[in-house]
Chain A
Amino acid sequence: METEIRFTHKAIVEQCKAGNSNSQYELYSRYVDAMYNVGFRFLGNAEDAEDIVQDSFVDAFKNLNNFKYESSFGAWLKRIVINKSINHLKAKRIPVVPMDAHEFHLTDEEPVEAAATDLNKVKKGIALLPDGYREIINLYLIEGYDHVEIGEILGISTSTSKSQYHRAKKKLLEIINEL
């Protein structure tokens, strides 16, 4: 199964490697919406998301020879978009908001999950999170990375990823319950 996923669109990818611009457009068409959504979730606005996704496709096509089917093309491209988004946020974030500042509002009890089944409320809640919390919630819950991968992406240890995620989730559930 795994090999099948990794080699999805292999024929098109190979043609793109050879510089065929029709194939490039085909590959772009298949992934642009998904990548745009990934970018938008991290960056929170259309303008930045468009810039980052454009940049990512340009980088991907230019460096396609480095893509050796170790993952699917989509996963490879998504990592580019996420890395670029996080770098963009880092550059923009002038005073880094310390995570601990938000802890004062947290109780030890797990907030109720009842209201959290409404996906629209979850979407709104994620959008209201501070940048750092939103990044880790997006990476774990929606993009589906595990904590080892998140550690690599954010440059933190696996255990830090776990504890940050735990705090972020608490905060998210709190926000959702108040909506």
Chain B
Amino acid sequence: MDNFEKHIRDHAAQFNERRADKDKMWAKISEELNQKPSKVIPLWKRPLFRVAASVLLLLGVASFFGLAVLNNNAKKTQYASKELMEIDMYYKDLVSYQVQLVRNNQNLSEENKAEFLSFMDELDAEYEVLKKEMQKNLDNEQVLEAIVSNYKKRIELIENLLHQINESKKLDEDDYGYTL
């Protein structure tokens, strides 16, 4: 440390020449200090409030589940859940659309159409039975699985049919290639 540095450090106190506006600043500080804690802390610091809040929360949760159970009992004839209903509707629309496509298809022989549609009708009947069973035994896994496999069979049927159509198309194209 050289003389200059020593000189300044020795007289550092003389650099504190200014006076702060003490009262004005304190007014703002105490305002800040009194404001924020009083908003949040007092309510939760009291143990009684904590207990009250816990009881309220418990009551809320209990009544939520209670209502849910009551609702289920009251509406036995409805679907187990909205989600299940939506899935069901989706497949129903899909299947009926495909059936309509098959009916209107020109490339298929009447025989094939009738065979396909009779299978579909059988599966429809089976599905109706399963749906009734579902309403009696809510959440029965076996019934659910049966419904799923019912839909799977329909989709499989449609896939087979599509395959057949594509095969016949391929043959047509091959023929066309040879004539060229």
Q: Interface residues, chain A, CB within 8 Å of chain B?
A: 21, 24-25, 28-29, 32-37, 40-41, 50, 53-54, 57-58, 61-62, 113, 116-117, 119, 122-123, 140-144, 169, 173
Known: A24-B30, A32-B20. 16 other contacts (CB 8 A): A21-B33, A24-B33, A28-B29, A33-B18, A33-B19, A33-B20, A37-B18, A50-B21, A54-B25, A54-B29, A58-B33, A61-B29, A113-B2, A141-B8, A142-B15, A169-B5
Min CB gap B156→A, angstroms = 68
Q: How far is the CA of A25 from the CA of B12 in the complex (A)?
A: 26
Residues of A within 8 A of B17 (CB): 37
Chain B residues near A141 (CB-CB < 8 A): 5, 8-9, 12
Chain A nearest CB, measured from B149 CB (Å): 65
A32-B22, A53-B20, A62-B33 given as contacts; is B3 within 8 A of A142 (CB)? no
Cα(A106)–Cα(B144), bound, Å: 88
Cβ of B9: which chain A residues have Cβ within 8 Å of it? 141-142, 144
State in angstroms the CA–CA spacing of A119 and B18 once bound together: 15
| Residue among B3, B8, B22 having the largest count of chain A Cβ atoms under 10 Å | B8
Q: Which B positions have Cβ atoms within 8 angstroms of A?
A: 2-5, 7-9, 11-12, 14-22, 24-26, 28-30, 32-33
A113 and B33 contacting across the interface, CB-CB below 8 Å: no
Q: How far is the CA of A36 from the CA of B15 in the complex (A)?
A: 11
A28-B26, A28-B29, A41-B15 in contact; A113/B21 too (CB < 8 A)? no
* Residue pair A119, B11 in contact (C-beta under 8 Å): yes
Q: Which of B5, B7, B12, B28 is in CB contact (< 8 Å) with A54?
A: B28
Contact A61 B21 (CB under 8 A): no
Q: Is the CB of A122 within 8 A of B20?
A: no
A173 to B3, CA, bound (A): 13
Task: Supply 22 A–B pairs (Cβ within 8 Å), ascending by A.
Answer: A24-B33, A25-B30, A28-B26, A32-B22, A33-B19, A34-B16, A37-B15, A40-B18, A50-B21, A54-B32, A57-B29, A58-B29, A58-B33, A113-B2, A117-B7, A119-B11, A123-B15, A141-B8, A142-B8, A142-B12, A143-B12, A169-B4
CB-defined contacts of B20 to chain A, threshold 8 Å = 32-33, 35-36, 50, 53
**Complex: how many Å from CA A124 to CA B101?**
93
Point out which of A35, A50, A58 has the most chain B C-beta atoms below 10 A from its C-beta: A58
| Interface contact tally, CB-CB below 8 A | 76
Across chains A and B, which 3 residue pairs bring their CB atoms closest together, nearest first? Answer: A36-B20, A37-B16, A58-B32
Q: In the complex the two chains form, what is the Cα distance from A57 to B24 in whole Å?
A: 13
Q: B3 — which chain A residues lie within 8 A by C-beta?
A: 113
Question: Contacts A32-B20, A33-B20, A113-B2 hold; do A122 and B29 have CB atoms under 8 A apart?
Answer: no
Partner of B25, one of A53, A122, A140, A144: A53
Complex contact A173–B29 (CB within 8 A): no
Name the B residues within 8 Å of A24 (CB-CB): 30, 33
Question: Is A21's CB under 8 angstroms from B30's CB?
Answer: yes
A100 to B18, CA, bound (A): 33
Q: Which residues from B are CB-within-8-Å of A33?
A: 16, 18-20, 22
Q: Bound complex: CA of A146 vs CA of B64, how far in Å?
A: 64
Question: How far apart are A117's CB and chain B's nearest CB, in angstroms?
Answer: 6
Q: Which B residues lie within 8 Å of A21 (CB)?
A: 30, 33
A50: chain B residues at CB < 8 Å are 20-21, 24-25
Closest to A58 in B: B32
